[in-house]
């Protein structure tokens, strides 16, 4: 949340319906996308 300039409270509220494991998968995918963009 800090790196994306979103408050942790806003992120918690917006994604509270997602299970922790699923949210971890979403975060991993997002970080992988950012990483691949930085390599281009």
Tokens in use for 21?
A: 């494991």
Q: How far is CA 22 from CA 3, 13, 29, 30, 37, in A?
A: 20, 15, 11, 12, 23
Tokens in use for 37?
A: 């963009």
- Give the model's confidence band at 2: pLDDT under 50 very low, under 70 low, under 90 confident, else very high: low
What are the tens digits of pLDDT across the range 7-25?
888 888 887 777 778 878 8
Question: How remote is the C-alpha of 22 from its chain's centroid?
Answer: 11
Per-domain residue ranges of the chain? 4-38
| Cβ contact 7:1 at 8 Å | yes
Instruction: Confirm whether pTM is higher than 0.75.
Output: no
């Amino acid at each position: 949340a800090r790196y994306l300039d979103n408050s942790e409270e806003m992120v918690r509220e917006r994604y509270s319906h997602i299970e922790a494991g699923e949210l971890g998968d979403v975060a991993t995918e997002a970080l992988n996308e950012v990483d691949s963009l930085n390599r281009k």
